[in-house]
Amino acid sequence: MKLVKTASGKQTVKMSKSEWEEMGRKAGWIKVAIEGETPEQAAERIIAMGPYASMAANDIHACAEGQGAFGYNPLNEFQKYYPTWSREDFKKCSDILASRGL
């Protein structure tokens, strides 16, 4: 991880995918789903992430909608962690998170 200067003169952090994933594991963003975890249980686990909950919730919402920012489809990524979940399961989890303000 290093600080780099952008063309506009601002400083930004540049990190590798492995560094990003390691940070996500430590923060609790990336966690292999507990086998048989329901959308309700996943939503409660995301809510318990505290300040990182909104980032995880955004990915769940994008999975429910089928498209994230810049054409990125997080459903492809999240299917690794929730292999038995359908888009409807992501929608159910998304609805729970939205009802809780995330």
Question: Domain locations in the chain?
Answer: 1-30, 34-102
The tens-digit pLDDT sequence of the chain (102 residues) is 788 888 888 888 787 877 777 777 676 665 555 667 888 888 888 888 887 788 878 878 888 887 665 566 666 677 777 777 888 888 898 899 999 888
What lies within 8 Å, CB to CB, of 55 at 6+ separation is 29
Is residue 57 within 8 A of residue 27, CB to CB? The reply is no
Is residue 12 within 8 A of residue 2, CB to CB? The reply is no
Please state, in angstroms and rounded to a whole number, the distance separating the CA atoms of residues 10 and 32.
35
Maximum C-alpha span of the chain: 48
Q: Against a cut of 0.75, is the pTM above it?
A: no
